[in-house]
Chains A and B, each alone.
Chain A
Amino acid sequence: MAEFVASALFVYTDDTKHLIKPVQNHPSGTRISAVAFEVLMQKPQEELEGVDHVVVAGSLDVIKEILRLAMKYRFSIGIIPTKKQKHLIKFYDLPKNPAAAVELALRQDGQNIDLILCNEEIMLFKAAIGRIPFLDTPAKASWIQVLLNALRKFVRFKLYTFRFGTAAKKEINTAASGCMILQHARGSFAARLISHDYSFTDGMASLVISAPISIIEYVKLLRQALRSSKRFKNLPSSIGYIKSPQIDIEPETGLDVIIDDQLTTQTPLHCETIAKAVRINVGKSLQEESRGAKDVRERIDVENLPTEKELLKVKKQKRIPFFSYASDERFHDLYKDLSEDARLNSIYVVLMVLSTMLATVGLYLSSASVIIGAMLLAPLMAPIVSLSMGILRGNIDLFKNSIGKIVIGVFIALISSALITLLFPYKPITDEMLARLNPTLLDLAVAIISGIAAAYSKSFREIIQSLAGVAIAVALVPPLAVAGIGIGRLDFYFFYQAFLLFSTNLVGIIIAATFTFRVLGYSAVVRSKRSLVVVFVFLVLISVPLYLSFSRIVEDRIFEQNLRKERFLVNEKYLIIIRASIIWRGDKRIILMDILAREPLTREDLNAFKKKIQTNFSKKLIIRLKTFYIP
């Protein structure tokens, strides 16, 4: 059975005058005296003498003034919201129905709740400073609204340096686009971010800091905002969070402070929580929440926010960059792994020798499975990925160590396979070797995709096992082994073509892995442009022979394809080409053809056929025929 206050003062404004009668005639039996807000504010002490409970119906400003008076005169408050005061209804869980609202307002079981004062202004729901894309987006906003909001706020989006202070005298220097203080602000994206950790009875103010340091981070934040109604276990990578009874906010430049959707003051901002400052009749859900409230400690979760060198970068930026960047501390574990990968050790040398030996034998056997085994055994991928990171971050140590390790590995591979070739009494050229003598731009494409996969796998421990697949796809050791075989055979063409394939893979992986690390946000705060330029020059240089090779292969494939639609009449004998393929031996273009004929071909026929081919296509074509007869 609900209990009601014995007497109450009803404070109304012109807009809520009509509520006097319903309040006075409420069956609760509460004695109601009514006073206009303007009259009350003229002589508050007189009007409030002996008043223990005030029922108020008016604008948010009116309610805030009553709250201020409540702190001073220690009366409890009942609020009758108007239909338009949706925030208020949601915030205090008030009934929308006027009769029910009157009933709740007259009850005597009010809750002690905290009030936050920011620069002496009462903040009921939220205070926003700077640009806070998505944070104040209503939970029920459609994806189009969220997207438009994101685009609108992106214009002139930039980060400012901020200094945040807490009650425990902790000082946080960082950069952010803006921040938002929340007092139990239900429903917004910011509220969803910290929904597990805020209450209006814990004596704390919650500060959510938005710091998307790049367009990529901005988009990531947008993606998270679009996941409607989902609660977050962990804070997104561009969000910081401070919870403290007292929060000081001081940006590098004066910013407007919008409290409860009204431009109220300017930074610097000092916000203080007055615990259990007022007693208000709130809805059922909030009553239960306040019963379960525990004492909490100050909390600071700002690991994701820019620090130190990153702050210097922010100061220099007019706009946020496309890609993220990070200081060494931020990716400590990965950096440690990559440094380890770049260090030369005996295991690497042994594995390099073994994998090359295996690849060389596999190439001579023309055994794909043995060659794949060698690919898996090869340890070359790790220093290449480290080199990419070294280039991206301009880390000279990482760069030198990994490049040294690669060069030694390449040297070992070439020597090993050359020695095996010299030792072998029989040196056939197998299909597996030939397959590695015609690198094209497509091989560069494979290397680039593999490089992306390698850097991605390395960045996430849970998918590190995928590196084996990457190693097979890009196949670093077999071309090196073929190049070594070329040295052993003293065949420069062999060496050059295979080494070109290896260089293609190497440059492709480096470029792609560097780019991937950059996209993933591992760029150094101060980037080394020179190392990137060097890699791109290598890419351009290697692309020239690859492009020429690719064009030649495209031309050859078209020719082979066309030949299958061509027939030859030679001395009344009809020759059908069923297969044609072109191979190159040095600068000699050889066409291998399977042809179908009904009658036996004489030397004269073959000469006539050769003449037709050379007349209609190319005089330099060398022809090799295999004939199948139609019985």
Chain B
Amino acid sequence: MKNLVYLSILFCFVCWLGGCDQKPAIEPSGKTIKIGIIAPFSGPVLAYGTEGLKGMQVAMQLQPYLDNGNGIELVVEDDKNEPALTVRLLKKLVKEVKVSAIITFSSTSPVLAMAKVADDYKTPVIAAIATNPDITKDNGFISQLVFDDNFQGIVAALFVRDDLLIDTVAVFNNPTSVYSSHLAAEFERKFKSIGGEITDTISLTEETADLSKVIKGVYDHTPELLYLPISVKDVIRVIREVRKLDWTPKMMGGDGLISTMLGQHKEDIDLVNGMLATDSFAHGMPLTPFGEGARDLYLDKYEETRTAYAALGAEGYAILLNAMNRCSDPADRGCINRQIRSTTNFPGILGNITIGPNGKSQRALIINSIQNGRSKFLFKVY
């Protein structure tokens, strides 16, 4: 009897150590559900797709099956971040491949194009990195995983004004980019409304000639900060001109800056050292258990610096599977869409994510400083 008691205690202890309360392993059913991925894997912003896919693959390794044992098959399509191609691929994946849901790592313009026809295909789309607030407007199937540019622009303006205590800012934008012009406008609006002064608003495109003259003009108005929600190539061009003037103003960029730098412009990473940026990810922040698992696996697999795109990829996959698991038929597009849009407090990489019925996500935004090729966490904004 005494031995039995000891054995029971030992068993309980071993259970406690080994985690007997963990979920039992899932038995594969042999069926597969297809998830489409539309992202640029070539062209000027291929980092969106390549990095995002890495994150998805890590998440897939952590969770290869749905709770009912169905496997997941990723069908990957390269849209080169071109809106027309994005729409064609959407049609292909829905009609021909018959995917149950789509995750896209394309930027605002292709996703806006997709938004116009999303209701026709009645297939849930998770836009992992597109931040324009209009992508969820006028359709019931595109859900936004990342914060939108209204939130991002307002936070950036308030941070600059109230945390950095800066009064004067010069804003750069690219009028050919919906993302850039919207974010710049939102920043400008908010900054002015709280008493800040915009010394210059510079429209910058690849065709802009005599950039040094433009920057000299900005310099003469002595702004304390340059707000640069423009492409990474343009950021690099601006910084080079600024350095020529031996000028060291504070600079702030938009989301994805560091990820694109790491993915495609590693050789110029020193140029952006010290720059501030709004993002959805930062190194050195406390991670959720899901985040820790994904990080460890990512480092094992890729042995390189993690990016925000990879983090969003992992989160997008996990949220999609979570939604599928809550459907009696995990391949039912309508159900998946409803469940995505009722995601509440889902533990992402850094914290909770909620996606409302309007497809908008509520999640924290991170303000980083880029230090030695890494995004160093400064503040988290809810």
Residues of A within 8 A of B (CB): 562, 565-569, 572, 574, 576, 596, 598, 612, 615-616, 630
Contact = CB atoms under 8 A, between A and B. Distances in A.
Given A572-B154, A574-B159, A574-B162, A567 B286 contact: no
Contacts of A630: 162
B207 to A, nearest CB: 35
B190 interface: yes
B286 A566 contact: no
B351 A616 contact: yes
B26 interface: no
A615 B154 contact: no
A566 B285 CA distance: 12
10 contacts: A565-B377, A567-B379, A569-B154, A574-B155, A576-B163, A598-B158, A612-B382, A615-B354, A616-B351, A616-B352
B156 to A, nearest CB: 11
A401 B377 CA distance: 61
A261 B251 CA distance: 84
A567 B364 CA distance: 9
Interface in B343-382: 345, 351-352, 354, 362, 364, 377-382
B379 to A, nearest CB: 5
Given A562-B286, A574-B162, 12 more contacts: A566-B382, A567-B155, A567-B159, A568-B381, A569-B154, A572-B190, A574-B155, A598-B158, A598-B161, A598-B194, A612-B382, A616-B382
Contacts of B162: 574, 576, 596, 598, 630
Given A574-B158, A574-B159, A576-B163, A567 B381 contact: yes
Interface in B150-179: 151, 154-155, 158-159, 161-163
Contact of B378 (A565, A596, A598, A615): A565
Contacts of B364: 616
Given A596-B162, A598-B162, A615-B352, A569 B380 contact: no
Contacts of A615: 345, 352, 354, 362
A567 B379 CA distance: 7
A567 B190 contact: no
Interface of B: 151, 154-155, 158-159, 161-163, 190, 194, 286, 345, 351-352, 354, 362, 364, 377-382
Interface of B is mostly: mixed
B367 to A, nearest CB: 8
A565 B352 contact: no
Contacts of B163: 567, 576
B381 A569 contact: yes
A630 B196 CA distance: 13
A48 B378 CA distance: 103
B166 to A, nearest CB: 13
A627 to B, nearest CB: 13
Contacts of B345: 615
Contacts of A566: 379-382
Give the interface centre of A565, A568, A572, A596 by most chain B CB atoms within 10 Å.
A572
A612 B161 CA distance: 22
Query: Closest 3 CB pairs between A and B?
Result: A574-B158, A567-B381, A612-B382
A531 B381 CA distance: 57
Contacts of A565: 377-380
A616 B288 CA distance: 12
A615 B346 CA distance: 11
Nearest to A599: B194
Contacts of A576: 162-163
Nearest to B378: A565
A619 to B, nearest CB: 10
Contacts of B378: 565
B190 to A, nearest CB: 7
B355 to A, nearest CB: 13
A574 B345 CA distance: 22
B375 to A, nearest CB: 14
A615 B362 CA distance: 10
Contacts of B151: 569
Nearest to B195: A598
A611 to B, nearest CB: 10
A568 B362 CA distance: 12
A566 B151 CA distance: 15
Nearest to B351: A616
B286 A569 contact: no
Nearest to A558: B286
A615 B345 CA distance: 7
A612 B362 CA distance: 10
A568 B194 contact: no
Contacts of B286: 562
B146 to A, nearest CB: 15
